[in-house]
Structure 1
Amino acid sequence: MKNTSSTKEKIAEALKNKMLTTPFEKIRVSDLIKDCNITRPTFYYHFEDIYDVLKWVVETDIVNVLKVGLNNEDWEGSLLELINYLYNNKEICSCFYNISDRAQVKKFLFSEVRLIVVNFILSYNNMIYEEDDTLDFIIDFYVGAIINTLERWSLGGMRTTPEELGKLIIITIEGNIKNALYRMRMINKNNI
């Protein structure tokens, strides 16, 4: 298992390095095979094609970036790490976004960004997350807003810095989620 993981990482690293000097559409499987000193069957054992490598790179990187902040229960740090990752890896993320089904990209990001919003709510409320339709609606609403904001920022050329964008998102969601949670509690309290 460790060998499989290290081979995948080796191929992924070769793709990242190649993308520093060569446009993605000009990179071939044979380039990666040569750079990694592996056989063609080894490559295809791990990945379907070069697009599959790119998808794996972005998804693995994003999960790893978010894991650090979430382990520290730092939702703001997790969000800023995600924004910085997108900014620092513009070329890779742009290729990933352009070659992937946008619905699949959003679905993947939704599950990852949802962890950030749930962490915020838990830190704000000092509570344990329990499924609740109203709470889930609030979470999903803001997750969608964050994802759409990141998408527009990415497609718009990332004209604001990651720090500025992160600050705007944090200010916006922090106050609004707190207000929505407060109002939700008041409504639930009055319905008891």
Structure 2
Amino acid sequence: MAQQYTRKVIRDAFVQMLNERPLNKITVKDIVTVCEINRNTFYYYYPDLYALLEELFQTEFQKVREEYNASLSWEESFLVATHFALQNKKAIYHVYNSLQKEELEKYLYNVAENVMSRYVEEMSRDIPAADSDKRLIVTFYQSALTEMLLHWIGSGMKEDPEKVIHRIGLLFDGNIALSLQRSASLKDKW
């Protein structure tokens, strides 16, 4: 319990600092000072700040997996899944503009894959779509959503993401179900 608590205190201090300044302006010394721990305690849990960043995204991704609700639309699920990013826009922007951008990309890609995989599985429950086609649909939407989020972050996060995701949902409403139905009808043609 104490180890989990210490890890959480370190992560929380790190997120707070990321919301205030770029990643390259944060040091282990800053974190241990805020957390009132010694350097050895920090290094007991993390070899460096990059390992801390990786664990931060892994922890947030685990929360997404645990909070998934099959009764939500993919749009609602995606917004729930990106809650951390929306609550910590400056931190996300600072990571985006750092050498550790790939950790952010990996996190967003995993979140999009998780949401879309579960959604496509739920939608295909009564549709005999091919597994390979379901995977293609997931990958298509996963890639599109990830790139849209990265573009949104890179352009300064000015637009309201709820409006954008809702609009995408309206524009593409029914396309996933239609694609699954097409897959079922194409089974014999491949």
Q: For the Cα contact (< 8 Å) 2:10–2:35, is it kept in 1?
A: yes
Unaligned runs of 5+ residues in structure 1 are: none
| Counterpart position of 1:118 | 117
- Shift in alpha-carbon separation, 1:64–1:131, aligned structure 2, 3 A: farther
Counterparts of 1:14 and 1:22, CA distance in 2: 12
Give per-residue Cα distances to partners, 1:28-85, cap 9 Å, x unaligned.
Answer: 21121122222211101211222332332233224314531x1455343321123443
Which has more helix, going by share of residues? 1
| Counterpart position of 1:35 | 34
Output the aligned Cα RMSD: 2.8
The one-letter code matched in structure 2 to 1:61 is E
Alignment of 1:65-144 (within 5 A): 65-68=64-67, 70-71=68-69, 73-74=71-72, 75-97=74-96, 98-102=98-102, 104-126=103-125, 132-144=131-143
- Deviation for aligned residue 1:184: 0.8
Unaligned runs of 5+ residues in structure 2 are: none
Q: Does 1:162 align with 2:161?
A: yes
> What is the number of residues matched between the two proteins?
188
What TM-score results when the alignment is normalised by the length of structure 2? 0.82
- For CA contacts below 8 A with separation 6 or more, give which structure has more relative contact order: 2
Counterparts of 1:129 and 1:37, CA distance in 2: 57
Counterparts of 2:43 and 2:138, CA distance in 1: 39
| Counterpart position of 1:18 | 17
What TM-score results when the alignment is normalised by the length of structure 1? 0.81
